[in-house]
Structure 1
Amino acid sequence: MQDNWEREALNQLLQAGIKEQRRSRRWGIFFKLLGFGYLFVVLALVMGWIGQRTSEDVNRGPHTALVNMDGVIAVGGEADIGVIAQGLRDAFEDSRTRGVILRVNSPGGSPVQSGQLHDEILRLRKENPKIPLYVVVEDICASGCYYTAVAADKIYADKASIVGSIGVLMDSFGFTGAMEKLGVERRLLTAGENKGFLDPFSPMNEAQRAKAQEMLGEIHQQFINVVKTGRGKRLANDPDLFSGLVWSGERSVKLGLIDGLGSVDSVARDVIKAEDVVDFTPQPDYLDRLAKRVGVAAASSLGARLEAQLR
């Protein structure tokens, strides 16, 4: 009886071990397949198999080309003019493009970058006079975004969109009062009397303030001239037009800041007469992103090791 009990216990133990091995093997296979799937997705993104326009998309017939500009206008930022300009060039170069829409949703940004994109739009329009370019505003088109938009043939927006802010600003902080309370002394050494121009830790210099205001006025006048050239007689004679205020899309039509109310679909259908919309916005370079992430991870790991060694 005791031998049978020992034999049964040993048999159960062996069966449990076999089941555990099978379970471990199945989980191992599952995680290997999951890893291979992840690597395949990464490879597909890097090689451009996902998220790219296919030849069928681009060559399916006459279409409206769409390029998106979202976020703050800045080099390497959300709205990088190099990326946007490339998308516009691709859109104009496509033989089946009947019109181009630049869909914008931006509060503005760098006046230099905005001006360069404005000039590039004018150049593309001049090279392609038979293909119209329209700007369609979503939530907001203010400041540098509007600077860019006035280069288009026409501008459309939703009745509740925010448009305008034709002005220039330079902002900073002054910490002199806080420093005095904390007993902190600013020691600034310069070669050149204006090298510490508008230093936030030094008292405001009235001569430097006047110089900054003069520079802002100069850039503001450049902005005004660009808007007047782009919009021409469509602009209303309103004293607040160039004051930096913003208006709704509905009010902007009356002021001549935009040409009408509309969306991407309505402009493609009713204005360009090509309902088929093809997105020419350049896709992110996943290889660069992956390289940057690997670089950041490696730097973080190295930093952690060095910190551990220094402790």
Structure 2
Amino acid sequence: MSLSETHQPKAATSAAKATVFVDGASGTTGLGIAERLRLQNDIAVKNIAEEKRKDTNAKKALMEEVDLVILCLPDDAAKETVALVDSMGAKAPKVLDASTAFRVAPDWAYGFAELAPDQADKIKSANKVSNPGCYPTGGIALLRPLVDAGLLPADYPVTINAVSGYSGGGKSMIQSFEDGSAPSFELYGLGFEHKHLPETQLYSKLTRRPIFVPSVGNYRQGMLVSVPLHLDTLPGKPSGADLHAALAKRYAGSKYVSVMPSDNDAAKGGRIEPEALNETNMLELYVFASDKHRQAVLVARLDNLGKGASGAAVQNMRLMLGLPDK
């Protein structure tokens, strides 16, 4: 298939459908986005022939004819493509980047629409949006409302523990689990330099760098992010109910983020598994608390390929294109 066969001029289709190009659709995030886009009947997806994929002129010509480009590339390649977009002037499309390259860049909107009451509007009006990481989505969702409410000091020594399915670890990790050479479970990122830490700290409004301990289990997808707290070390010594109320207030009316009731089945059983939200764009937040011991564990559950990646990307894409949520 030639380049001319894979896309048509924007003017031919823009009146009916918004046009999108996914650059780097062979990885897990790109494949997930492509699968979701097939269900979007108001989006026209433009493609480029495989042999033209690294042809700068061909890619530039395609990007001039689309409304939005979604980048599913390594950081360096994403930076190169954004530089190319920046050179296009008035012909430049909007950009949604799924790499870590621009997640803390001040001139990019952060693509966690539920971050703050006005965040969705910021995404709508932005030309450049960074799609959040999977772990930060859970961690920020738990921490930011508590910091904003004054229940958690910005300099609190936060520890974040998390477990993900192996699909979030890239091609080599996926291969090692699927060929049986990987262990059943492992901690990683123990050099304290995990790439998700900067955005987690920035958008949680933490002034003290949190300790983040990620892990991976021998299952494909699904994620739990947890934050343990000693309640008597917090200002005003709040109860678990106070923490729950702050989260519930922040996400009241949210379509994709749910603060689960304190008497839910997970709370009653004292356990929670990571795969229940797979293939969705949902994020569930839990507060497990003991008044007796004055301790709490906050937990976020999500699909690392859904709300943690591809699902969030499609949600952001629709905001950026001014399309109704669906």
More helix by share: 1
More strand by share: 2
Q: Which has the larger radius of gyration?
A: 1
Q: Same fold (TM over 0.5)?
A: no
